[in-house]
Structures are given as C-alpha cells and as structure tokens.
Structure 1
C-alpha cells in the first residue's frame, strides 16, 4: 500500500543522486512511497515498473533494472537476499530522512549486512545475520546468548552454592518426617548449615493475642441500619395523611389527556402551599375537581378551594345581629312597597 513520504530540500543538491540518471532518481523517489515503514521493498524490476512507470512507454523493465543497478552502485539503496530466499532492497539512510509516526512492524526480511532491526520472517534478530556473523568470526562476543545463560559465573555468588542439594528432593523428606523446628539442609560436601527461607517455625508465639469476636457474624449486608434507640426528631407521617403528589395524581387521572409538565409542576406547588397552611385535603380535592372542569391557570386553584371551604348557600347572608334576614333581592317595584319590603325598610 502506497504511503505519503517526505522529500527534503537537500535531495535536489545530493551528490549521491547526482551520479545517477534522472529516470533512476525518479525511481528512487517514487519507491519511497511504496517501501514499508522500515524502507524495505521487493527487488523485482517488473513490480517496480508497474508501480512507478505504468503510463510511460519510453521506460521498460530493463530500464528499471538499470536504475536499480545505478542506485546500488552509488549506495542509495542496498540490494540483498532475505532469509526466505527472495531478493529485496532497502534505503540505508531511511531513518535519517523519513520520520514515521507509529511505524508498523515490517513483514519483510531484514538486510543481513547492515540492518540490526527486527526481521519480518524471523520475528526478531535475523537468523541469517547471526549465521553470517558466526561464519565471519568477527562478532562472536556480540552474538545473542540463550535467555538466562551467562558466559561466566557471578562474582557475588556465595561459595559452595553449587554444592547445595536440590530443594525438590530435600523438602518432601523433611516435611514427611515432621521435623520442622529447624528446617536445615545438610550436605556432605558442604559442612555449613543453610536454612531454607520460609520453612522454619517460630520458637515462640506472637505477643499479640488473637482477636475473638463477641458474637458470630450475621449474614447479609453490614451497611443496613438495624435501628437506633436515639430519637432523630423525625416521625413517620400518619397513615391518613394526604400528600400533594397524591392529590395531583388524582387530578391527572381525572383528565382525558395528561397536562403538560410545567402545568403540573405549578399546580403541585400551589397544592403543597395550601396543605402547608392547614387546609383540609378534602377542600383541596374539591377545588381540584372544579379546576378540572373549568381549567385555566393554576393560580386560580386557591379561589376554587376557598369556594369549596366557604360556600353556605346560593346567596349572600347578612352578617351581624339579624341572621334570620333573608337574602337580598333586587328591587321588583311591587304594588305595595311597604308590605313587600317592610323588614328592609
């Protein structure tokens, strides 16, 4: 897959590229888009021709092969045979000119001559490179050794350590005999006694007494409050207490469609205010029934509750010392006004 690569301004004044032809220089720059994140690619003129020169009839596969020879001669590329037997090439100065953000692991073999990087076939240091180094005899000391093995023993190792018997053969016998007071290992070759870490038994008990719980643990969650003997100042509401939510719920049930939330919120505040004033829930319920019939703004509810509280007849009653006076009637212009309105006159 082609990738975006950078071309530095120094490319156009490079003495190395100035020694090759212009088509070879174009092949050099074009293949940077097709090389992987480690600057490696297949060394096949036919493949490179199809990637760089698909629309140019004046360039042939033989010309591309000549470009690769020119570039390898001046050191612009390095051609090699991978550990899988195929031919590849890479850019020796790739990491000096290309800055790859989060490079992916290469799937191609590494160059056995000049690349110490991960080999895509060997999944690590290339075996072919190690074989070449061993055959040359110039870097035997740099050859990677097996994991966990050292060429020489540590200078800090205690004397007689190699004469200790294997723990796997000593521990079962010591544990089976029951002698655990002093778990020591004796060796005929090593007269000194060596204690096995973690196997000795303490000679005396711990000075701290073991904690004993006064009562067994009860099943269930420990965060549940079983109750308190201290009063908190709050009492449970009476069973017959009607809340504002209950009254609003009855009002909503009486409506054919659920009122908007803003109306219910305003109405709930009004109902709560009325209940906090000590008005009986039945009077508020009566006002809500009347409000459900006529609707309107929730601020009308207090007047409807007042009507339910203070309605005592069809007309106004004269207060004061004459409670038996009939309700006021409009002037009807009777024939005998004195007889008709004697009480009021």
Structure 2
C-alpha cells in the first residue's frame, strides 16, 4: 500500500540524484511512497512500472529496469536476493531521511549487505537461512545411497567356506564391485560393465510412436519450411552510439554518451527508424550541443524538406516559390504555380 513520505528540499540539489536521468529520479521519488517502513520493496520492473507509471504508457518496464540500474549505480538503492530466492531492493539512505512513527514489521527479507542484523520478514528474526551451507559434494570415499556397499553382503560363518561357496561369493563381490565402479582385485576398473546378478525388475518402456533418425532439433538457418526462421537483425542503441563515437576525433564524456544512448533507446522503442537516428547523430557530431537536442535533430532528419522543393515526394518537379515579377510570358515563367 502506498504511503505518505518526506522529500527534503536538499533532494533537488543532490549530486547522487544528478547522476541519473529525470525519469530515474522520478522513479526514485515514487519508490519512496511504495517501499515499506524499512525502505524495502520487490525488485520487479514490471510491478514498479505498474505502480509508478500507470498513466505513462511510453515508460515501460524496460525503461523502469534502466531507471533501477541507474539508481543502483549511483548508490541510491541496493538490489539483493532474499533468503526466499526472490529479488528485492531497499533505499540505502532510508533511515537518514525518513522518520517513521511506529513502523510496522517488514514482511520482506533483509539486505545481507546493509541490514544483516535486522529483522528478516520470512525468518521472523535475524535471517539464518543465508548461513546455511549447501550439501557438501560427496567425495570418492562416500558411497551413493543407491550403490551396493560391501557391508550389504551376507555375513559368512567363521568356518572356512567350501570351494563352491567361495566361487559364489567371489562372483557376487565382482558383480557388486562392477556396479560401484571400484577397481576389482585385478586392478582393472570395470565402471559397471559387468553383468547384473539378476534381471532388472523394471522392463524397458516401449515408445508409443516411431522415432525418426537424425537430430530432432530444428535448425533455425535451414531452408526447409519446417524449422524456425532466424529473427531479422536489428540495430540497437549501443550500435548507433558506437558509430557516433567512432566518427568523433576525441571520445566524448561518459555523461554525454550515456545521455545519447538513453535517448536513442527511447526513440527506437517509439518505432523511429534507425536511419533517422543515425542522421540525427551525424548532425549532432557536426554541431555538438547538449545531448537533449538529439531528439530535435532526429525530428529534423525525419521531416526536413529537401532543398528547392515546395512539396517533396508529391510534386518533385515543382520548384521553390518565387515572388511575382510581372514577366512578359507569365504562363512560361509560372507554368506549375499558376
């Protein structure tokens, strides 16, 4: 449930918030209202997008994931995995800026990095599930529970066995040793290749249908229509920005590159053709300004009229407008305009 939180005036001059985009800053302020009384929340971009951006369809969960990554890089939030295996986040400076009167108990796991000693929601106390080690890998000396052991052999009487009993016991031991993959008395490793002392109680299952020879995996690059077709290659924002960086004499600052990448990614998500974005980046490289003007330059590349054409694409032979000069032969001078 959303809650009323405090936003201090110092937040708007925070250097940490200045490192992220305006959209990420808005997501951060929104997380203040959605986090519990200990600053914890589910780390799920789709859930956060539905809570914070319900009336902004252009800001999808993909953009929210980028916002969360920016906030994590700036040290404003910490993303972690709880003891239940799910992803969570908490606001790092929560206790410094939010004063909660009678805070309720958190139902979410605590952060193992910052709040290891705090109460964990699923554990109802200090989290103990993180300290549990996984089952150690079994060594060679430990036998599998399904592997026959030498102790399972029937006990033999103290008296010296007869020749027939010795041969039967030796055959049984060889069979068990072969199943366990242990070197036999001759020093050879049978690896379970010896014959079973008795038939398997479970007969093999019959296949309900015939199996065709060859691989059953469809080749995406196959020319036959039975396989999947490979997806069409698309141009990403990183490739477009990489082309812009390669065209520059010196590498631009990281903030400029990051801002251009976010704008290019947003334009691609809107369906803008990569050619228009590439043309806008070329114009930006020729006349570098603030990265926010890239959108205007892309719009200029999309909708700019060609030089000397009054209506490009519709009447390409129509020249640009000329002022009336009272020519002698008006029909010849203004044939298309009249």
Q: TM-score, normalised by structure 1?
A: 0.37
- Structure with higher Rg: it is 1
Q: TM-score, normalised by structure 2?
A: 0.38
